[in-house]
Structure 1
Amino acid sequence: MRRARLNRHAKVVATLGPASSNVAMISDLILAGMNVCRVNMSHGTHEGHAQLIAGIRKASAMVGLEVAIMLDLQGPKIRVDKLPDGLELKEGDIWVVGPTKVQQDYPEYKGRFIPTVYDHLVYDLEDGVRVLFDDGLIVAKTVEKDRDIYKIKVSVGGTLKSNKGINLPDSRVSAPSLTDKDHEDVLFGLGQDVDYIALSFVRKKEDVLKLRDLLNEQNRNIPIISKVENPEAIDNIEDILDVSDVIMVARGDMGVELGNHLVPAVQKKIISLCNLRGIPVITATQMLESMIENPTPTRAEASDVANAIWDGTDAVMLSAETASGKYPLEAVKMMGSIITEAEKTPKERPSIKAFDLTGVDDATMIGASLIAEKIGAKRILSVTQSGTSCLKMCRFRPQTSVLGVSNLLSVVRKMCLFWGVSPFNLKDYDEDNVELERHVIDKVRISCELETGDRMVITRGSGKFFARGTSNSIKTIVIE
């Protein structure tokens, strides 16, 4: 399993939940190929999440492999409120939708009132726009506003139950992307030393900057994953890329609001833009959905994962498959197997001319990638204090696996998401040791099962071995 992790380029993100929250299962998932653990803040309590995160760190230490932890914020998800008996919405019926707090003010609509937890819903609507319930399974259109409520006419009926989502694909939602709950969850996550924070329902760059400001106030530099999942975000994608560390193509709500038929093309476009900018991108939602109930995926699901790899995604994500499914371990193994097979198909690498390259470190990373391929090196060893050099390296999609070596645990964990990079934590070292490089090589040789005669390319900065700064040197060695 360790060798498979080293030789696989794309990474696996897995959501942890009731089916995968004990230390033994988490250990198995890490050994099976899970690189990033997603903690979903839409469910559970801070106490429960703290126990889960402690379990992740314990499992990681037990198996001797680091993983990153992604804290996924709930965001302003618009939902139906409590409906004890559900509501049967039929085609052609007229209903009203509005905040729960005003329901008692409209006794004339008793039995026809759809309560929502979102107080500003009515102010985001206008006549003739769609209102979708339960991931688009129930469709209605607004008719007219009546003070604090809106009349809607059902075009596709169904049974509506408590807490189901509401989507407004034709409207601009005014709810802040970073809610009060998200604010509390961010502070909780910082206290738990999470490695990434995912911001849900990003619509414009200002949404990302609000989270960035909060992190700056806390003097923390945690990478932000912007989840692109609605038409407004797609329209503003270039601006969002300017301020994001990672992008997630969140295909669930995207499919509901755009239409499933448009998702594949949008996915390809976003991945391509991220690849050109060197921004890691995660493809998510329903990738192996049938494995919630079944031990193997459908052929279509396997093809979906493979095509995401061929599109150029840095990582693929499992949601309910590992959080609440019957076969979490099998799902991670299957994801890894599909990635491995997909990566055997040669993919044309983007031309260097396509990138905006100006720095010495860019040139160093390109040079190291090309040299490694020309001499048949088994590994590229990149010494880094921030992870930036490894991130730049994977932008060029080297065919040689990269070992990102750092003495900082936070950097090692961050690199778990980077395409083609295997993080290596050098815990015990003497900065003034003139034989430090040899010490690192000996450690790496054992960990990566390198043999005498294998070639390796080393990139690092000038000065002390772990000095922060520009990577500006390339060295080739033969393992003795």
Structure 2
Amino acid sequence: MSIRRAKIIATIGPSSNTIPMLEKMIKAGMNAARVNMSHGTYEAHEQSIKNIREASRNVGKEVAILLDLQGPKIRVDKLPEPLELKDDEVWVIGPSHVKDQYPEYSKNFIPTIYKNLVKDAHVGARILFDDGLLEAEAIEKDREVLKIKVKVGGILKSNKGINLPYVKVSAPSFTEKDREDLMFGLKQGVDYVALSFVRTAEDILEVKALLHSMKVQIPIVSKIEKPEALDNMESIVQVSDMIMIARGDMGVEVGNHLVPAIQKRMIKICNELGKPIITATQMLESMITNSRPTRAEASDVANAIWDGTDVVMLSGETASGKYPIEAIQIMGQIIEEAEKKPTERPLLRNMNITSVTATVQVSASIAAEKLHARWIISITEGGNSCLKMTRFRPKTHVLGVTNSLHVIRKMSLYWGISPYYFNIHENSDLTKLEELMIDKLKKENLLQIGDKVVVTVGDGKFFRQGTTNSVRVETIKDVPRALKNTDQDSIQEVSFDQGKLLLDTSICASCQACINVCPFEIWTASIEEHHETRINGLNVHKCTLDMACVEACPTGAIEIIPFNP
């Protein structure tokens, strides 16, 4: 099981949409697959999603699927051939359907799919094409078209993006195409939905209201890439389930020189408010064509981890690059190395911890760290308790146990959470189920005799949403051999009026923990070199059956059997 805490999203495309390739990507460390609705057909996306699920089953590891909606992306419409824009030339841009109305501009007409571009833009506005590679300035409006003067020329191709920095675009963040794509995604059973070009909290609430009316619960990832969103950052984070720093369009909109500081600010806000955040775009961009990243790219990934990001994302590197598997592997290596450096964790006194679940989870985090526990085992139905746990950045690895495959996939993007599927029923006996679960973990070598685990669970029931209200420490023990009906030579046995004490000397660690907790000197150490623990028969009658020695024993060598009254 991976020791990496931060998670990796990989975008699916022509380089990565086959089952064999997806299997290798999952094995390499992919935690979630991104399906980009800005490109491709429904048929192609449906096949990709089916392939992701099949590859996941084949590997035996569930991964989340993130459906990334296009949003109100303004693009150049189809061109008969690429256009060459030269510095200081004057061109005209307008909706495709009005081109025939302006024959005088036929040779210098740039068609766009966006009908309101002329209405939204103002004279003096910057017009950027192809992620800012080409730049022009609006100089005049002529009815339904906009005259522009080229500042930075180049070759302009069909479907390239158009950005209007600091222009309030009237198009809604959630377009009709997005609605259709969302319905498609829900039908396919995706696990997350990303909303592009979010500007206000109302943009997210609109989509959540739609999902609520359909009785659908699916996390919404808000992509921050517009200047307006930066002005409304905290309110957007409050109503979102997750945030994505979409650094590509953000850099075009506000300038690349501002992106690093914005990234740090956004991560800080999300960490403080307990919302997961994804850092995305061009993280290992050179690996589209090269087998190794640049030093600057490696530093970029590491610094995002040190800033406190929960997730990092690969885009073209895995969608269309030559080295999708290597990109995931190298990103994982960079993360693991970065996580070895201690980072400042959120201060509890600065957090608004008001819910019972959050209080239990922070208590579990502290207890596990102080006791050097092997795992925190968080038993959850909807994943909420594990999500709250990530906010406190526990040093102990967390096992998120659930009986829902959908929740397993959702938790795949939670920082520091290792999702674990356990097929049991809600109304089963809690004590018996915990025993079965711990036995299963031991068989899978996730637990060993002597390990301590911190368990969080709710209301005496497994898998009842929103009820996490208890934290408990367990020491993994073996059953004394006397109870296994095996060789009796290693067993010390002393009876008294209330019961019987058993000590299996073959597994006793001679740690003297039992001696330290017993006030009646029932346990004693021999005077030989190894100071082996023994039962002091003279004091056994003083035993109160409080089981303190049994709990203290790290190996399970002690057993007390009370006699029935």
The CA distance in 1 between the partners of 2:204 and 2:441, in whole Å, is: 38
Is the deviation greater in 436-445 or in 313-322? 436-445
Q: Once the 2 structures are TM-superposed, how far is the Cα of residue 161 of structure 1 from its aligned partner? A: 1.1
CA contact (8 A) 1:458 1:474 kept: yes
Residue matched to 1:454: 451
1:477 aligned to which of 446, 467, 474? 474
Q: Once the 2 structures are TM-superposed, how far is the Cα of residue 104 of structure 1 from its aligned partner? A: 0.5
**Pairs within 5 Å for 1:58-73:** 58-73=54-69
1:253 aligns with 2:246: no
1:438 aligns with 2:435: yes
SS in structure 2 of the partner of residue 47 of structure 1 = helix
1:87 aligns with 2:83: yes
Q: In the superposition, relative to structure 1, how do residues 435 and 76 fare at CA in structure 2: closer, same or farther (>3 Å)?
A: same
**Pairs within 5 Å for 1:58-207:** 58-207=54-203
Ranges in structure 2 where 5+ consecutive residues have no aligned partner: 478-565
Write the letter of the residue equivalent to 2:200: K
Larger relative CO (CA 8 A, sep 6+): 1 or 2?
Answer: 1
The CA distance in 2 between the partners of 1:170 and 1:344, in whole Å, is: 40
1:300 aligns with 2:281: no
Q: Once the 2 structures are TM-superposed, how far is the Cα of residue 190 of structure 1 from its aligned partner? A: 0.7
SS in structure 1 of the partner of residue 189 of structure 2 = coil
Q: Once the 2 structures are TM-superposed, how far is the Cα of residue 194 of structure 1 from its aligned partner? A: 0.7
Is the deviation greater in 448-457 or in 310-319? 448-457
Q: In the superposition, relative to structure 1, how do residues 447 and 141 fare at CA in structure 2: closer, same or farther (>3 Å)?
A: farther
Q: Once the 2 structures are TM-superposed, how far is the Cα of residue 11 of structure 1 from its aligned partner? A: 0.2
1:404 aligns with 2:400: yes
Q: Once the 2 structures are TM-superposed, how far is the Cα of residue 466 of structure 1 from its aligned partner? A: 2.1
Residue matched to 1:11: 7
SS in structure 2 of the partner of residue 477 of structure 1 = strand
The CA distance in 1 between the partners of 2:445 and 2:168, in whole Å, is: 51
CA contact (8 A) 1:430 1:436 kept: no
The CA distance in 2 between the partners of 1:416 and 1:159, in whole Å, is: 42
Write the letter of the residue equivalent to 1:56: I
Residue matched to 2:485: none
CA contact (8 A) 1:429 1:436 kept: no
SS in structure 2 of the partner of residue 96 of structure 1 = strand
SS in structure 2 of the partner of residue 119 of structure 1 = coil
Q: In the superposition, relative to structure 1, how do residues 430 and 122 fare at CA in structure 2: closer, same or farther (>3 Å)?
A: closer
Is the deviation greater in 459-468 or in 136-145? 459-468
Write the letter of the residue equivalent to 1:452: I
2:32 aligned to which of 23, 36, 50? 36
Residue matched to 1:283: 279
CA contact (8 A) 2:197 2:224 kept: yes
CA contact (8 A) 1:305 1:338 kept: yes
Percent identity for Structure 1 against Structure 2: 59
1:419 aligns with 2:415: yes
Is the deviation greater in 440-449 or in 19-28? 440-449
CA contact (8 A) 1:437 1:465 kept: no
The CA distance in 1 between the partners of 2:463 and 2:253, in whole Å, is: 47
Residue matched to 1:47: 43
Give the alignment's Cα RMSD to 1 decimal: 1.2
1:364 aligns with 2:360: yes
Alpha-carbon displacement from aligned partner over 1:378-434 (angstroms, at most 9, x marks no partner): 110000111111111110000111111111221111111100001111124574244
The CA distance in 2 between the partners of 1:95 and 1:467, in whole Å, is: 62
State the TM-score, normalizing by the size of structure 1. 0.97
Write the letter of the residue equivalent to 1:277: L
State the TM-score, normalizing by the size of structure 2. 0.83
The CA distance in 1 between the partners of 2:201 and 2:58, in whole Å, is: 40
The CA distance in 2 between the partners of 1:19 and 1:179, in whole Å, is: 29
1:468 aligns with 2:471: no
2:335 aligned to which of 304, 316, 339? 339
Residue matched to 2:215: 219
Q: How many residues align?
A: 476
Q: Once the 2 structures are TM-superposed, how far is the Cα of residue 163 of structure 1 from its aligned partner? A: 0.9
The CA distance in 2 between the partners of 1:65 and 1:79, in whole Å, is: 38
SS in structure 2 of the partner of residue 400 of structure 1 = coil
Q: Once the 2 structures are TM-superposed, how far is the Cα of residue 446 of structure 1 from its aligned partner? A: 3.5
**Pairs within 5 Å for 1:235-250:** 235-250=231-246
CA contact (8 A) 2:425 2:462 kept: no
